[in-house]
Structure 1
């Protein structure tokens, strides 16, 4: 049932060939899985079945995940960086499908993993035919999609240096190849090769005649377009603060409201960002919508939202999110995850179904004084329109050079 000997794998200086070879090994394991399905009713969990189950488990528990990481962390980002025109449009449509395939296959594998583990131990001799069929079909169509579109595109677009970088990353992920000192040199080479990553922008333009007089209305217009384009987490924004000692820091938070007053988010008032804001009530926000090749930079002063606003938003959150906010001393050290879970369970037992907002949790609002709308353009000749608030509350607007 198992094929003991394997075809010799290509070297990592041919990373696309290595990925295709991985597909070949996946197909062999899928074939073993299908043969095991027909073997069990007649022979039960005999020695041959147990060996087959062990081989399938060994491959899909580790090697298949490494293959997915090769694609998600290296191949796809590198392709997105160099693809233009029709290639870029193809990737924009195809990549979400590939990533969803990975999630679905992982979920399907979890069901099979439990059944195969019992077979491996001789504790059961049953395997769900429907689960096997769904798993095999999903993997097969997934591999065909990659082999017909993704692999040829990479072979066509990647330079020898980019191929070498991809192969080195795949090698490092498997802990094989060069000695530690040589790997260190290779890491340096990879870091320098970042300069080769380029993506030309060209979806849209932005002129002085395109934008509205009020920057908040212009932001609303762009935000609505981001929603319509199904941008990944369009409400995610980078928040930059400065500590009393002058050290800047940034993190991603979610805007929960924006209107003529400004941009609002919620957090623990004892967190690092809140301590920074209490000492220096100036901050910067950044929205980056890569799917639309747009970003919006916002600067201004910050203020706490009213207790009534914070209460209203806190009550709107799911119960478990409210319990988490109460249980966590955000940014404070804790011994381990078990201690964190213990704190949560203690709060959950005492808080009831409608816990009140703790005093150390609430909202911050950035009142904008400067907003810059950035639209990516070809050859790095980008469009930048900036608004600045005047002393009387009005806004000026002008173009900046890229």
Structure 2
């Protein structure tokens, strides 16, 4: 009734493939359930039936629970933090449905699990065809929706870093691999509680501020901070009058911190007059903030093209249709502009010259960790003339 040959599982550096592999194993267990329905009337709870029931119970009591946690605690929050345009709209609809399905399938499983208990120990041979059919249909439909929409979205919009973070979280949940060793097998919920008593010392921080930012950003993702990629961008005009707004970071590496926008917007005009800016990440759940200051320059046309064409088509069209920060008479006029651009594009909009990326090359980076009695920890990196970084503590 069950295969004795295990399928080769993909590595966790391919987390979406791992999730698909979990679905394949779920389908095998569902097939075993259906086979039990035909086996039991003729053979009762014999050794083969007991073995099959035990296998199904083991999977849905353990592995399936971890799979749902992968989706609820990591995959879906990461998608919410990244998705834009039509992807974000689809996710807003699908996420509540997926969570509701998880809850309903869990309830249906409890009913089946009690029946399988008796089959597994040989004390009974009753398995409800209706309960099995409902459970199989629900799971099958659920997996088809995820494979049709959620998995392709993740593969399309997640960066390599996000894929790595997702894979590490999945490993840690299973207490396997280097990710589990680094975290000591601590559950995310426990990790979050520990941050209420966190501290930050010079020894806690890495030598390079971008590497330290990557460490903290990874921890924010793992702790399911709300919008961990949201940052305040503060700019000033030639007269020194400042303004700030929230944007989403799209990339960070040794070159700096990158976001995309309209070059003719208020921030674009201010950066043309005064090419310096300050970024602020605030993660209140972890009592942390990161302040980054430096000179800003435009990304290459190639980088801007690459990101622009990775966006949903509707977001591409909106970048053309909107003269960001400029007055307009009404929402209706905005919609008319969008419709005109959509009609003219033929479904293949081209990146406009006024839209692209900015990259801030950091010169000063401060890591702030909240502490009791407002006696906070502040570690500051300052770029030196030779390209090295000076690290020091400053007072709260």
Q: TM-score, normalised by structure 2?
A: 0.51
Match of 2:362 in 1: 368
Does 2:252 align with 1:245?
no
Match of 1:220 in 2: 214
Return the match for 1:275 from 260, 269, 273.
Answer: 269
Equivalence map 1:2-401=2 (5 Å):
202-401=196-395
Partners of 1:318 and 1:290 in 2: how far apart? 30
Cα pair 2:196 2:286 within 8 Å, conserved: no
Partners of 1:244 and 1:214 in 2: how far apart? 32
Question: Which residues of structure 2 form unaligned runs of 5+?
Answer: 1-91, 97-194
Match of 2:125 in 1: none
Q: CA deviation at 1:352?
A: 2.2
Partners of 1:398 and 1:227 in 2: how far apart? 26
SS of match in other structure, 2:196: coil
Cα pair 2:264 2:324 within 8 Å, conserved: yes
CA offset digits 1:239-264 (Å, max 9, x no partner): 00001222100000111000000000
Partners of 1:216 and 1:273 in 2: how far apart? 24
Q: CA deviation at 1:356?
A: 1.0
RMSD of aligned residue pairs (Cα, Å): 1.9
CA offset digits 1:361-380 (Å, max 9, x no partner): 00000000000000000000
Cα pair 1:202 1:378 within 8 Å, conserved: no
Runs (4+) of structure 1 moved beyond 6 Å? Answer: none
Partners of 2:354 and 2:370 in 1: how far apart? 40
Cα pair 1:304 1:365 within 8 Å, conserved: yes
SS of match in other structure, 2:324: coil
SS of match in other structure, 2:246: strand
Aligned residues: 207
SS of match in other structure, 2:309: helix
CA offset digits 1:315-336 (Å, max 9, x no partner): 0001100000000000000001
SS of match in other structure, 1:320: helix
Question: Which residues of structure 1 form unaligned runs of 5+?
Answer: 1-99, 105-200
SS of match in other structure, 1:316: coil
Q: CA deviation at 1:271?
A: 0.3
CA offset digits 1:139-196 (Å, max 9, x no partner): xxxxxxxxxxxxxxxxxxxxxxxxxxxxxxxxxxxxxxxxxxxxxxxxxxxxxxxxxx
Partners of 1:344 and 1:319 in 2: how far apart? 12
Cα pair 1:216 1:259 within 8 Å, conserved: yes
SS of match in other structure, 1:325: helix
Cα pair 2:229 2:248 within 8 Å, conserved: yes
